[in-house]
Amino acid sequence: MILSASRRTDIPNYYSDWFFNRIREGFVYVRNPMNFHQVSKIGLSPELIDCIVFWTKNPQPMLARLGELSAYPYYFQFTLTGYGKDIEPGVPYKKDRMIAVFQELSEKLGNSRVIWRYDPILFNAVYTKEYHLNAFGQIAEGLKGYADKCVISYVDTYAKNQKRMRELAVREPDEEEIRAFSGELARIAQGAEMEISTCAEKLDLSDCGIAHSHCVDKALIESITGCPLKVGKDRNQRAECGCVESIDIGCYDTCRNGCKYCYASRSDAVILKNCRNYNAASPLLCSELMPEDRVTERKLCH
């Protein structure tokens, strides 16, 4: 089993105490996003977990406790962009803090186990092509020698972020512009000694030196663990997504980063309401087990 922690919320930043409690107790409950009272019980013993994939914009709260994960293979997808507080209001300032945090994490785990994500890329009157190239270049220079790989993507509009995209006056670039811009990013990444790839993009950018990425990456996990995996494509993700199957233990509408482009959050009010239910001792994230809940143990194969 590959554990995803999490595409739905920033567990390392906001819920690391809860996560380590779950690891210590050896199980977690996860609500079905499509059926609130359907709850899965998932075992978390090292014998069951092939790898943990963390997704975060700030893993600093976990850094002092990584020793508690010594029995588990894991790696981080670390998003580090050039956006300001108008787009990512809850993320600490990049130059002052987050580049240093990335460097520290890489020093602890190694370059291959910390993937730099510069995504999603959006264009408007403030965040122009020139702005992104400058920001990308500065971050790439700061991460040179600390990251082997960078993942990019271009912003998608979903039901949950459609209104915010309109408010930001986000414009959609055409294919020619994307190709030219992506080629410039590839040259910068190459200069910083990084491989660059895309996440869930339909457009083939291989002629720009950019491959399609696999964020939950079978080859990387096999490299980390030294063992072959029998695992297929994740059918719950978009057709363009190259990830293999994983189980996500996060909860939508609980991330306090406040990113305007986010597909996993409806509104600040809903997030605030859910976060009031956070209990680090609960087996459920930002929730408690209710009498009407139906708990089913997830059958897992190792």
Summary mean pLDDT of the chain:
93
Region for residue 226 given its phi and psi (left: phi exceeds 0; alpha: psi -120 to 50; beta: otherwise):
left
Are the C-beta atoms of residues 61 and 20 closer than 8 Å to each other?
Answer: no
Using the predicted structure, report yes or no on whether residue 23 has a pLDDT greater than 70. yes
* Interval 118-134 mean pLDDT: 96
The structure tokens listed for 157 are 């509009």
Are the C-beta atoms of residues 296 and 190 closer than 8 Å to each other?
Answer: no
pLDDT of residue 111: 96
Are the C-beta atoms of residues 50 and 225 closer than 8 Å to each other?
Answer: yes
pLDDT, tens digit, 9 for 90 and up, residues 142-156: 999 999 999 999 987
10 Å CB burial of residue 161 (0-12, 13-18, 19+) is buried
pLDDT, tens digit, 9 for 90 and up, residues 69-110: 999 999 999 999 999 999 999 998 888 899 999 999 999 999
pLDDT of residue 95: 80
Are the C-beta atoms of residues 277 and 286 closer than 8 Å to each other?
Answer: yes
The structure tokens listed for 235 are 């059918």
The residue type at 241:
C
Compare 95 and 274 and report the one with higher pLDDT.
274
pLDDT, tens digit, 9 for 90 and up, residues 193-206: 999 999 878 888 98
Are the C-beta atoms of residues 118 and 150 closer than 8 Å to each other?
Answer: yes
Q: 173-195 in b/e burial notation, b at 16+ Cβ within 10 A? A: eeeeebbebbeebbebbeebebb
Q: Closest Cα to residue 215, out of 101, 51, 93? A: 51
Model confidence band, residue 301 (pLDDT cutoffs 50, 70, 90): low
pLDDT of residue 288: 96
* Interval 284-292 mean pLDDT: 97
pLDDT of residue 263: 83
pLDDT-above-90 percentage for the chain: 78
pLDDT of residue 297: 93
pLDDT of residue 277: 97
CA distance 269 to 4: 26
Using the predicted structure, report yes or no on whether residue 270 has a pLDDT greater than 90. yes
CA terminus-to-terminus distance, the chain: 6
pLDDT, tens digit, 9 for 90 and up, residues 181-239: 999 999 999 999 999 999 878 888 989 889 888 889 899 999 999 999 988 887 777 76
CA distance 43 to 48: 7
Region for residue 268 given its phi and psi (left: phi exceeds 0; alpha: psi -120 to 50; beta: otherwise):
alpha
Q: 3-state DSSP: the chain helix, strand, coil percent, rounded to 5?
A: 35, 20, 45
pTM of the model: 0.94
* Interval 100-127 mean pLDDT: 97
* Interval 247-253 mean pLDDT: 96
CA distance 19 to 284: 10
